[in-house]
Structure 1
Amino acid sequence: MEHGVVTVVVITYNDAGRVSEAVASALAQGDAVGEVVVVDDASTDDTPRLLERLAAADPRVRVVRRAGNSGGCGTPRNDGVDAARFPWLVFLDSDDVLAPKAVDALLAVARRHDADVTAGLCVRRELPGGREIPWQQQLFTAESVHDGVARRPETLWDTLSVNKLYRREFLVSRRIRFPDGAAHYEDFVFTARVYAARPRLAVTPETVYVWHVRYGTGQASISLRRDRIRNWQDRVSAHQQVLEIMRDSGERDLLVAAQTKFLEFDLAVYLRELPQRAPEYQDAWWRISREHVRAFEEEAVSRATPAARWRTAVLLGRERQAADLRRLAELAADPPRLPPPYAGDARKPLWDEVRSAPDEAGEIVLDGLAEAPVAQLPFYVTADVDAGRRLLLELRLPELYGRTTQAGPQRATVEFRHRVTDTAHRCEGTWETLPGGEGRRAVVAVDAAALCEHGTITTWDAWVTLAFRDGRPVTRPLRAGSGLRRLVRLGRRGRPLLLQPYATNSGCLALRVADGVVGMRTVVAGRLARRVRR
């Protein structure tokens, strides 16, 4: 690899506890990194002194200190671009890290394809647990190159600025900058400007960026502050700017694709949590969303998946109702689920019963349900827990307007996935038809002892894979039904097992397992600690 050709721009504000790790990850990239420009957005903690020490320890570290705080991330990133001395740029936030050899991987692909921008996979690392979840993994399955993104509109789903290598001359010559000041979701606007400029874009499946997501620390990132209506307002405002950028670029397909992406992704993220919000939040969210989406092209809606079209129809055709919110949250899940009741019939499936009063809203047809591929059908599977001598799950799969029978479910494979390691344990059952054709039922026996890790408490999420007559499997999270209570069982060699099936915040089934005396003591100690805090 070439020496000294990349500038890594690190932005920081009052982050003395974490910025050293970010800078270290940049320096560890090797000789290709000519400098690490750290832009301090007028920190008031120990960050300035810490950066002085880092700069004294390595001549590649240069510190740019702003006189006043900008209020956002865009201005310090722009300062870093202005200060950069090398032909290639990478952005890094002070609470994240670059993956090992990320710069070499990006630079090699950029050189190989003569690319203006090269994008790699980002993983979200949940702290303190350490579970890693790939971000938009479907976009990074293989190395590829594209002259502009119009023929690959799904690229718009990648709104991150930090998982990319940029040719600095490309950004400067086209005056591509981040929004200045206290603008949130500045990545949305910046990447839209990049895509609208028709770059030669290369993609690599290599992991290049580790996005640290910290829960319960009181320092959630902007994208995790979804409990504040201002967060949604900022997101919609950023998306409006994205649409203006695409409109001005003359790339109508990208404009439509940006609207479809909003229906598929942005709306769904917030809808999943909307039933948990206060009524005032729900009303404001509904009004802001409806006003924004009402201006979308009809083609944007028609390009969306069936579930996204149905969510959009309810948003535009109904006032906010608590019952609708609960069903919409299920329909916004990934993958989507549609719980009963099922109004209408197979010829004309409806969201709900037709209103009789002339001044009430009309019917909302679930268009496309009869023709949708099996993989896109919003099957809804619940699991009741049997507290007998064995741990049994009774699964129920409702009849979905005749599509369940048409697909012909044959086997149900329940999979318990370890929440941190993704280790999986499977058990199978066979579907039987319920009386009256109301759906299917299957009973699955769970080997709880196989889920144990000696002396610890483990958490497992439950999924079900439906095997159909034509062999095409569909996987869905299991919904929690009845029988959710703490159970004590004897495991292998007579060891006690403490089992706690419970419903997650999204209503899915999960299982905590405490193995042996140590696990039991941990549970008791936790109970005592909670009582002391009360």
Structure 2
Amino acid sequence: MTRADAARPWLSMLIPVYNVQDYLAQCVDSVLAQADEGVEVVLYDDCSTDGSRALMQTLADRHPGRLRLLDGDRNRGLSAARNRLLDASRGAWIWFLDSDDFLLPGAIAGLKAWADRDDVDLVLCDFRDHHDRPRLRQRLFGERHQRTQDIPPRQPWRDAGRLMEGALTRSQLHAWSKIARRALYGEDLRFPEGRYFEDVFVSPTLMLRAQTVVYVPEPWIAYRKRPGSILSTPNPTKWQDLQDSLNHLPPLLAANRARLDENTLNAATYLAYRSWMRATCQARRAGDWITVMRHLRQCEANSPTSLAAMLGYCEKRGWLWRALRIRAAVGEASRKASAQPPGK
């Protein structure tokens, strides 16, 4: 090992910041409470307007030498912030953490146990929902533990097909539950700028590049459910971006076809139709069937298998209600669009 290698952080915790003054301190403190000397913590402010940047400096002053602060010249969005963080980081492993979320105890130690092994290049973890004001259900039963995978846990895994199937059927494609060796990102894999749901573009490529993956079925991240987040403020632009984020999936799967099976392809089709239903929920309620059908055509283009094949796959897995809902939604859209007067 060279002197440069010895000085290199083993992990980069990368935290993009934008208007999260109420949550940032908890996020940063949750990392610093666990980070050893081999962990660099880098924050990038995307031109916040609420005092987040001043809080970043306060936290850096409170913890001398433990935080690196970066600033954008103008607001460019989450993808650009993540790309800047990735390019500026020095760690052998990369872990993105959204600044309104926080690490749960034991997360970094749990990762290091696998990161120290030479035969692992991607680690997947679970997460737990977090509500600042929990409802009665959360108070009675606790916050929900969200699983991100179906592959066998705590063992090196090399079956790309089943790995992708689990991620696609669970719709768990967020970047922050996938901790990767830097080499998997390389010089070319970056988040598409100016779009929402950018994780859906990056995560499948990341998983297919990995030679060996480990899934740890423990929640390492508290995912904050809050007003004002991307998912809690839907609009047509976001829903279009959700569908556009899947445009790259069919060619990506085709390029890796030798490593995948029909279950993986049907899982991708299932994700496309689930995304279509989500993206057109408001349009269907408003009776805008032209928009619904436009999205449906894009869904079909992003589906590597037929609707019939995907429904059969769902039924074999015992997802009868899911299959029924998708079949009914497609049928309703086709009927209503056909009955709508021209020009509407």
Which of 280, 287, 298 is the aligned partner of 1:279?
287
- SS of residue matched to 1:303: helix
Specify which structure has the higher proportion of helix: 2
Question: Partners in 1 of 2:108 and 2:70 — Cα distance?
Answer: 22
Please report how far the alpha carbon of residue 15 of structure 1 lies from its aligned counterpart in structure 2 after TM superposition: 2.0
Question: Partners in 2 of 1:52 and 1:78 — Cα distance?
Answer: 22
Is the CA contact (8 Å cut-off) linking 2:147 and 2:217 kept in structure 1? no
Question: Partners in 2 of 1:143 and 1:189 — Cα distance?
Answer: 26
Residues 250-269 of structure 1: CA deviation (Å, up to 9, x unaligned):
45644443112333x43565
What is the aligned-residue RMSD (CA, Å)? 3.0
Is the CA contact (8 Å cut-off) linking 2:121 and 2:180 kept in structure 1? yes
Which of 271, 275, 279 is the aligned partner of 1:266?
275
Q: Could you tell me which residue of structure 2 aligns to residue 304 of structure 1?
A: 314
Q: Could you tell me which residue of structure 2 aligns to residue 64 of structure 1?
A: 70
Residues 183-206 of structure 1: CA deviation (Å, up to 9, x unaligned):
100011110221232442111112
Residues 1:161 and 2:171 are matched in the alignment: no
Alignment of 1:2-401 (within 5 A): 4-31=9-36, 34-58=39-63, 59-70=65-76, 72-112=77-117, 114-129=119-134, 131=138, 132-136=143-147, 139=150, 142-152=153-163, 153-156=165-168, 157=170, 158-172=172-186, 175-180=188-193, 182-214=194-226, 217=227, 219=228, 221-226=229-234, 228-250=235-257, 253=261, 254-263=264-273, 265-267=274-276, 277-280=285-288, 283=289, 286-295=292-301, 296=303, 297-298=305-306, 299-305=309-315, 306-319=320-333
Question: Partners in 2 of 1:230 and 1:108 — Cα distance?
Answer: 41
- SS of residue matched to 1:236: helix
- One-letter amino acid matched to 2:158: D
- SS of residue matched to 1:162: helix
Higher normalized contact order (CA 8 Å, seq sep 6+, divided by chain length) = 2
Please report how far the alpha carbon of residue 60 of structure 1 lies from its aligned counterpart in structure 2 after TM superposition: 1.5
- SS of residue matched to 1:147: coil
Specify which structure has the higher proportion of strand: 1
Structure 2, unaligned runs of 5 or more: 1-5, 340-344
Is the CA contact (8 Å cut-off) linking 1:196 and 1:245 kept in structure 2? no
Question: Partners in 2 of 1:148 and 1:113 — Cα distance?
Answer: 18
Question: Partners in 2 of 1:44 and 1:300 — Cα distance?
Answer: 46
Distance 1:268-1:31 versus aligned 2 partners, 3 A rule: same
Q: Matched residues, percent identical?
A: 23
TM-score between both structures, scaled by the size of structure 1: 0.53
> Alignment length, in residue pairs?
311
Is the CA contact (8 Å cut-off) linking 1:149 and 1:201 kept in structure 2? no
- One-letter amino acid matched to 2:191: F
- SS of residue matched to 1:15: coil
Is the CA contact (8 Å cut-off) linking 1:142 and 1:205 kept in structure 2? yes
Distance 1:140-1:11 versus aligned 2 partners, 3 A rule: farther
Question: Partners in 2 of 1:113 and 1:302 — Cα distance?
Answer: 40
Is the CA contact (8 Å cut-off) linking 2:104 and 2:221 kept in structure 1? yes
TM-score between both structures, scaled by the size of structure 2: 0.79
Question: Partners in 1 of 2:37 and 2:256 — Cα distance?
Answer: 34
